[in-house]
Structure 1
Amino acid sequence: MKLKLSLICFIGTLFSMQAQTSVKPAILENSGIISGKITDKKTNEPLPYVNIVVKENNKVVTGAITSDKGTFQIKNLALKDYIVEIQFMGYKTISKSAKLSENNSVNFNTIALEEDAVQLSGVEVVSEKSTIVQKIDRKIINVGKDLISAGATAGEILNNIPSVSVDPQTNAISLRGNSNVRILIDGKPTTMDAAQVLQQIPSASIKQIELITNPSAKYNPEGMSGIINIVLNKNSKLGFNGSINNGVTFGKTPKVNSSLDLNYRSGKFNFFGNYGFNHGKYSNNGFINSKELNNENTQIFDMNSKNTSHLAKLGFDFNINEKNTFSFYTNQNISRGKDFGNTKVDYVSSASNDRFQLFDNKSENHSETYNFDYKLDFKKEGHNLELEVNYNKNDSPEKAFYTNENGTTTSFTNDVKTLGKNTIINLDYINPLTETTKLELGLESRNESTANSFFLNNAYNSDFTYERTLYSAYATLGKQWKKWSFQAGARLEQYNAEALFKEAGQADGKFKDDILSIYPSTFLTYNLTDKNSFNLSFSRRVDRPSLSQVNPIREFSTPTLDSRGNPDLVPQFTNSYELNYTKKTKIGSITSGIFYRRIQDEITRVLFTNGDKQILSYDNFENNDAFGFEISGNLDFKKWWSANISLDAYQKKVKGTIEVTPGNFEFVSVNATAFNARISNTFKATKDLRLQLSAMYRGRDLSLQFQRNPMWKMDIGTSYNILKGSGTISARFSDIFKTMHFSFEGDRPYKSNGEFNWESQSAYIGFNYRFGSGKNKAIQRKQRDKNETQGSGGLL
């Protein structure tokens, strides 16, 4: 609480400091007035939110910004001589002399500003359709209006991104067919479970999505299949500006997705804020047929949920001077959820009583992030030192009430409390040794902890505490020579983990791990021509068990199934190799690539029996190999037709010891091949009218115990610009043929099959309005947040 109060006071002080530049001086008997109107020289249209700065002897006296009509009036000025500067990003600055000593009122009438071609090179434009940019170590998807209208949440957007798959039932995310992926928000980890994060972030709050399949040594090596970084909106335009997004998705019930972005930049300060709201009811149903020996049954699920989430981002950048920048922001995420429904178990044999369970689950979540950043630029361009401190806290209590009918009626409650904390301190140093060589060094300290407690029928049952600390140092060296670019680096990391599980009536369970590892990475790029480039990369990575994977306290429960973690999991390591080729053509660019992974102690889902219940948990399997290819293109076939296309296929050999029949365990291996395809077309009917047609196919996937059947769907949408381009109306109809559902088959430890359905067929309508003016000029706040490679030495 003291930390929050201190931050509020600190921010308030900064606002006060800024306000001092515009406080009106004491009214003199003979006060002066300066007024005028600002317009665009080409269009003659008025320019709102232009900065008007009044100076005396090179010192700022006061100032103002123009109104929506481009006018301004500054009163209560002493009768002296002033210089008035008209400043607007993207336009040339104009200085005017105002001699109030000769006349107590100066009216400049109309002043026309001329665009500055140099500044315009930094202008960002929000695209109608999403674009894909391939960098040396990542793929960047700039989220356009087509993706925003694809769904209400981050999970629905990611499900339309190449190489990414999101399970619509559980929100579990995978990259190139592997679920061991690390999710970052604005480049920072979060203590929230990835599935929870994807459900709570409104789609309209997302600016970019970065897929980092082979990260350099500068990045934390966690996430075997790579990193997905979700970049939230943050404007940095001069003056005051913003946007409003409102959308409604109609399934069985309506779901609201709204956001508000605001930005004010003046002088040395840039203030920004974002608020996202997500609310709706969701309906799911499904069944599972279990061919258990002497216990064959059918489970029927009817699940409903009601979720409300609020996501707020508030921060500022302060340019102390040309060499020093200080920044702060906070993310506050508050959500409430209610899950309710029933599970019915129908036994074939009359010897077993059918079961019927009602459940009512209420949960809350408050996640808060505070981020401080200080950057020092030295005299040499690109030579800088940056210190960043990030703190994240997540509090998520849950209370569930169950009623069982199995001949007799019984009821019980589950209370689960979870508190997670995460602190990261980064120190990064960059030094361009020559025009073609760059050195990067860094240190990092990371501490993550969670505390869980479980009460059964309001009585203590168990608790689980888990803490891990990481200390790391990295170094990378980048070199460019003619058409070649090379970068090599390594990260040394000390990892310590300690866990304690206590359960009433049981001995304490303890776990401790202490690992010192080195993670090398290498990137090699060859630019054959301006339109043809090759990239070869290697990295060693680790996937440490997540907090949810090691937590033995139940995640969810049904009459026949409990889901929980495994505290005995050990980290899995992987060596990853990639080769990519990018071809630029007259109609766009095409990137194709192949990859190979060698995986040690792979972490995966496992199902086993325990008495009359099944346990869904995690375990380490044997070493595994995976390889595949992917092709993606961002193409403009005609002036009126453009498309994003992606294909990927991979093969993996999975092996491990599993329960093949109840109580019997054997070593098993399987070869699995999966294929995925997506296409999103945009048709420009007129200058303001766009039509979208998209489709996706997710092929069969195979694990040691289950086979997931293919899934596909087709969507259609449209968008129309109004209010002279300041507003956009968009609409979308998803899953036209209602073909999207999840189904599976299994034969270990017994034959089973099932299917789950959700509100996949839905209609969306949204409205986006942009107000204010000014040109984008992003503050280079954090090097690793920029949309460019971090490992090429800045030479590409």
Structure 2
Amino acid sequence: MKPAGKLQWKPSTNPFYTLFFFCLLLCILHPNPARTQARVQGVVKGQNNQPLPAATILLLRTKDSALVKGSITQQGGQFQFDNVAPGSYLVAASFSGLKETYSQPIEVAQKDATVRTDLNLTEKEATLEAVVVTAKKPLFEQKIDRMVINVASSIVNTGTTALDVLIRSPGIIVDQQNNNLSMNGKDGVVVMLNGKISRMPISAVIQLLASINSANIERIELITTPPANYDAEGNAGFINIVLKENQQFGTNGNYALTAGMGKKPQAGASMNFNHRQGKFNLFGDYSFNTENLITYFIFNRTVVQDNRKVETNAINDRWSNRLNHNARLGLDVELSKKTTIGVLGTYLHNTFSMDALNRSHILADGILDTLVTIDNKENHPLSSHSANFNLTQQFNEKHKLVFNTDYINYHDANTVDYLNRYEKGNGDLLWEQPLRSNKTTPIRFWVNSADHTWTISKKATLESGIKSTFSRFTNDVRVEWGEPSGWKPDPDLTNISYLRERIKAAYSSLSLQLSEKTSIKAGLRYEHTVSNLSSDKVKNIIDRKYGNLFPTLFLSQVLAEKQSINLAYSRRITRPTFNDMAPFVYFVDPNTLFSGNPALQPAFSDAIKLDYLFRQLIFSFSYTYEKNAITNFAPRVDAATNKLTFFAENQPDRKAFSFNISMPWQPKPWWNIQTNFSANRNVLNAIYLGDALKVQQQNLQLVMAHTFTLPKDFSAELRGYYLTGFLFSVYRVPAFGSLDIGVQKKFAAKRSSLRFAVSDVFGPPVFKPSVNQPDKNLVASGRLLFGNTIARLTFTRNFGNDKVKAQRSRNSGSEDERSRVTTN
């Protein structure tokens, strides 16, 4: 095996890299011919004639309402568009809860002129029959505390899933082999659906993400500095998937149909609807996806055993199918102008089946000693259902109370059959032995929360709340070896585990507008946790009771017009996932397996983040220190038996540094570019077999999206990412990238569209982890290839009337509970 050395850059002849860096060079070097053009500026005010910060501002062409530029207002309500070409324009202003307002047509006649127009926003009315805005949101929007991915705005996202979108998102790394998510180089990501945490094991979350059709997603929010009203769980932050919510009277919605082809066919369909009449609002959505996947893995490891060099080289071919059904149905009723109640139910059924062939060559001092061939079949259904009751009470203009109660039920079953064939190096059969494993995991949650908002004054708001979560988990694992006399359980790997956990929390957060240019938000959250893990063999394997305070602080300061800084601090906790604590077993071959670790402890992190905003540019720096860091699927090699076991374990600490730049740019009216650049450094202080092990890695990530507005209602998109080497657990992973393209045509007054997209144009990325610590008998590497190039054709159609009526936006109280459940 080639030892890992220093990373060296070599020119690549791959056309992807040539095209990708050509686009980057074009962005940097393209001259700006409009430096002497005019500007449009003004102030937006809201109710009581007060300046309105953070309002959305659009500059539109008068003749067709096409978007020219977009921005948000400053703390004093000011806005300004520079480099405006001569012509006739409209300015549109909008803000949540207020009526969208348009200026009178304004004329820009001279290149060096300054045109001013002020707008006042009033309370939103039931209908809007003014200007029709045809602009769409940019694919990426960088905000103070989060990156927003407007999934509905992307052509290449059409026909894909939430998981596909995340794989191509800035700062996100998805490890599909080990079912793991990381953000900005940090594990401990918490996934939310419409603002509600999913406490499923992370592998089940991966399946959930793979079941959500992108046609039902409005946006995905990557929240790196959550405020105090969010659970303290997750040191990396939150990924919030916001599903589409129809905002119209009557009956309306949309549907989408997708057909795709890679090495095997793909298909999907989705539909969402909304029926609003009087005080009643019925809404729902459904999506279906089927994928046929071909994956290819290679694992290599070397150990010194009895003064012999023993190498194990495994090649694994997998043919799998995933079939998903995902549905949601809800009802809101306005009992009065101040009281609204709602119920919401969800259902998920995911079936994963796989046939795999694994061939392991075991060499002693370079000579083939044993050949192990494993034929295995896996069946893995996952189902869940949940119910939510919501009550919103607006007592008066200053006081609002939101109450949620949730019940969530997951049932995960995983059955794998293995046939192990052992041969000598010369091909003579030694023996055959079947092996089977079965894991059944029901998980139940009961969640209650109450949140109160008190608007003390125009410059002060106090938020407070309480929450309780009770969970029950059973993990029934049975591993059996086939013997001539029948199936014989493996006592070391067969057990039933029971977990009971209760988390109680309370928080308070105060927002203050200290001056026109200075605002602050400070919060404090307390969480008390009681956890007990037992098995059918040992009681009280884990019996913990602990309480912790989690402070948060946000400071925003306007330095000058279109310049501001933001400073944020937060303390967070990463609790072990349920499956990590209650052991599961998954065999790659008889000597390579994945398992859980009941000895895991929670990890605590302190993070600080600084942002500098200049016009539409955002520069961010963050630093995170994590104590008792949890490394997922850390390797442990038993040199005496040549067994390799992967499981999560605590390490002394981990430090993460991150620098990010968000740069939107419009070279031409028909061409928009969004560039996101991040630089990360991770330092992990670990312990391996009692010895200190320090692993550190730097990496860069570049994500670019080019969108083109073409004649006759055509549009196109080119999007790609490139990621240099990074650190995964104790492994180093070299660079990889991807490129997607798409074209769209709109029809029939833009009520329907046809999109064609190709993902991974130059082939899927190859994930190649490696660790080289021969002094610790830890030398291993891998090569993992997921999926293939896929072309998709999607037809989307909207139906129903188009009178605008704001729909109540609400979250249930259990979104934090859905991120601690895992499946393969």
Shorter-chain TM-score range: 0.7 to 0.9
User: CA-to-partner distance for each residue in 1:359-409, whole Å, 9 max, x for gaps?
Assistant: 1011111111211110110222x5201111122110011211110001212
Does the Cα contact within 8 Å between 2:302 and 2:312 map onto a contact in 1? yes
User: Aligned partner of 1:510: which letter?
Assistant: I
User: CA-to-partner distance for each residue in 1:638-672, whole Å, 9 max, x for gaps?
Assistant: 2100122111111121111114xxxxx41011321
Matched residue count: 662
Secondary structure of residue in 1 paired with 2:215: helix
Q: Check 1:434–1:615 CA distance in 2 against 1; reply closer, same or farther (3 A cut).
A: same
User: Aligned partner of 1:482: which letter?
Assistant: E
Does the Cα contact within 8 Å between 1:670 and 1:704 map onto a contact in 2? no
Please say if 1:444 is aligned against 2:467: yes
- 1:555-574 to structure 2, matched below 5 A, reads 555-574=586-605
Paired residue for 1:789?
Answer: none
Q: Distance in 2 between matches of 1:410 and 1:394?
A: 33
Q: CA deviation at 1:343?
A: 0.6
Q: Check 1:127–1:371 CA distance in 2 against 1; reply closer, same or farther (3 A cut).
A: farther
Q: Distance in 2 between matches of 1:463 and 1:619?
A: 21
Q: Distance in 2 between matches of 1:273 and 1:210?
A: 21
- 1:187-336 to structure 2, matched below 5 A, reads 187-192=195-200, 193-293=204-304, 294-336=309-351
Identical columns (%): 25
Please say if 1:554 is aligned against 2:585: yes
Does the Cα contact within 8 Å between 2:420 and 2:433 map onto a contact in 1? yes
Q: Distance in 2 between matches of 1:126 and 1:227?
A: 31
Please say if 1:384 is aligned against 2:400: yes
Deviating more after overlay: 188-197 vs 775-784: 775-784
Please point out which of 548, 558, 578 is paired with 1:517: 548
Secondary structure of residue in 2 paired with 1:622: strand
Please say if 1:484 is aligned against 2:512: no
Q: Check 1:302–1:351 CA distance in 2 against 1; reply closer, same or farther (3 A cut).
A: closer
Does the Cα contact within 8 Å between 1:150 and 1:156 map onto a contact in 2? no
- 1:89-100 to structure 2, matched below 5 A, reads none
User: CA-to-partner distance for each residue in 1:73-108, whole Å, 9 max, x for gaps?
Assistant: xxxxxxxxxxxxxxxx999xxxxxxxxxxxxxxxxx
Q: Check 1:412–1:783 CA distance in 2 against 1; reply closer, same or farther (3 A cut).
A: closer
Deviating more after overlay: 417-426 vs 134-143: 134-143
Q: TM-score, normalised by structure 1?
A: 0.79
Paired residue for 2:607?
Answer: 576
Does the Cα contact within 8 Å between 1:327 and 1:781 map onto a contact in 2? no
Q: Distance in 2 between matches of 1:205 and 1:135?
A: 23
Unaligned runs of 5+ in 2: 1-97, 101-123, 423-429, 481-486, 814-824
Secondary structure of residue in 1 paired with 2:154: helix
Secondary structure of residue in 2 paired with 1:374: strand
Q: Check 1:784–1:532 CA distance in 2 against 1; reply closer, same or farther (3 A cut).
A: farther
Paired residue for 1:609?
Answer: 637
User: CA-to-partner distance for each residue in 1:506-557, whole Å, 9 max, x for gaps?
Assistant: x556111111110000111112345222211111101011112212121454
Q: Distance in 2 between matches of 1:609 and 1:384?
A: 57
Q: Distance in 1 between matches of 2:143 and 2:737?
A: 30
Q: CA deviation at 1:739?
A: 5.9
Q: Distance in 2 between matches of 1:414 and 1:226?
A: 35
User: CA-to-partner distance for each residue in 1:34-89, whole Å, 9 max, x for gaps?
Assistant: xxxxxxxxxxxxxxxxxxxxxxxxxxxxxxxxxxxxxxxxxxxxxxxxxxxxxxx9
Paired residue for 1:94?
Answer: none
Paired residue for 1:750?
Answer: 778
Paired residue for 1:396?
Answer: 412
Q: Distance in 1 between matches of 2:132 and 2:551?
A: 35
Paired residue for 2:162?
Answer: 154
Paired residue for 1:469?
Answer: 502
Paired residue for 1:352?
Answer: 369
Does the Cα contact within 8 Å between 1:191 and 1:394 map onto a contact in 2? no
Paired residue for 1:175?
Answer: 183
User: Aligned partner of 2:669: which letter?
Assistant: K
Secondary structure of residue in 1 paired with 2:770: strand
Q: CA deviation at 1:431?
A: 0.7
Q: CA deviation at 1:151?
A: 5.7
User: CA-to-partner distance for each residue in 1:128-179, whole Å, 9 max, x for gaps?
Assistant: 6644344443332222242663662211111222222222444421110112
User: CA-to-partner distance for each residue in 1:305-349, whole Å, 9 max, x for gaps?
Assistant: 111110001001111110000111111001111111111001234
Q: CA deviation at 1:250?
A: 1.4
Does the Cα contact within 8 Å between 1:127 and 1:144 map onto a contact in 2? no
Q: CA deviation at 1:709?
A: 1.0
Does the Cα contact within 8 Å between 1:326 and 1:375 map onto a contact in 2? yes
Please say if 1:678 is aligned against 2:694: no
Please say if 1:774 is aligned against 2:813: no
Paired residue for 2:29?
Answer: none
Paired residue for 1:85?
Answer: none
Please point out which of 766, 771, 775 is paired with 1:741: 766
Please say if 1:762 is aligned against 2:790: yes
Does the Cα contact within 8 Å between 1:275 and 1:312 map onto a contact in 2? yes
Deviating more after overlay: 454-463 vs 599-608: 454-463
Q: Check 1:399–1:783 CA distance in 2 against 1; reply closer, same or farther (3 A cut).
A: closer
Q: Distance in 2 between matches of 1:270 and 1:614?
A: 55
Paired residue for 1:712?
Answer: 737
Paired residue for 1:636?
Answer: 666
Please point out which of 408, 417, 435 is paired with 2:431: 408
Greater C-alpha radius of gyration? 1
Q: Check 1:753–1:330 CA distance in 2 against 1; reply closer, same or farther (3 A cut).
A: same
Secondary structure of residue in 1 paired with 2:229: coil
Please say if 1:140 is aligned against 2:148: yes
Does the Cα contact within 8 Å between 1:370 and 1:392 map onto a contact in 2? yes
Secondary structure of residue in 2 paired with 1:195: helix
Q: CA deviation at 1:124?
A: 11
Deviating more after overlay: 714-723 vs 145-154: 145-154
Paired residue for 1:646?
Answer: 676
Q: Distance in 2 between matches of 1:134 and 1:782?
A: 23
Secondary structure of residue in 1 paired with 2:620: strand
Q: Check 1:552–1:121 CA distance in 2 against 1; reply closer, same or farther (3 A cut).
A: farther
User: CA-to-partner distance for each residue in 1:281-320, whole Å, 9 max, x for gaps?
Assistant: 1110121222233321210000121111100010011111
Secondary structure of residue in 1 paired with 2:145: coil
User: Aligned partner of 2:471: which letter?
Assistant: E
Q: Distance in 2 between matches of 1:316 and 1:783?
A: 13
Q: Check 1:363–1:670 CA distance in 2 against 1; reply closer, same or farther (3 A cut).
A: closer
User: Aligned partner of 1:692: which letter?
Assistant: E
Paired residue for 1:495?
Answer: 529
Q: Distance in 2 between matches of 1:122 and 1:384?
A: 32
Unaligned runs of 5+ in 1: 1-88, 92-115, 660-664, 786-796
User: Aligned partner of 1:301: which letter?
Assistant: N
User: CA-to-partner distance for each residue in 1:724-766, whole Å, 9 max, x for gaps?
Assistant: 2111111112222226211122214333332111323221211
Does the Cα contact within 8 Å between 2:193 and 2:240 map onto a contact in 1? yes
Q: Check 1:618–1:499 CA distance in 2 against 1; reply closer, same or farther (3 A cut).
A: same
Q: Check 1:120–1:131 CA distance in 2 against 1; reply closer, same or farther (3 A cut).
A: farther
Does the Cα contact within 8 Å between 2:420 and 2:434 map onto a contact in 1? yes
Paired residue for 1:700?
Answer: 725
Q: Distance in 1 between matches of 2:193 and 2:231?
A: 14
Secondary structure of residue in 1 paired with 2:439: strand
Q: Distance in 2 between matches of 1:122 and 1:544?
A: 51
Please point out which of 515, 520, 526 is paired with 2:557: 526
Q: CA deviation at 1:696?
A: 0.6
Q: Which has the higher contact order (CA 8 A, sep 6+)?
A: 2
Q: Check 1:783–1:275 CA distance in 2 against 1; reply closer, same or farther (3 A cut).
A: closer
Secondary structure of residue in 1 paired with 2:807: coil
Q: Distance in 2 between matches of 1:385 and 1:126?
A: 36
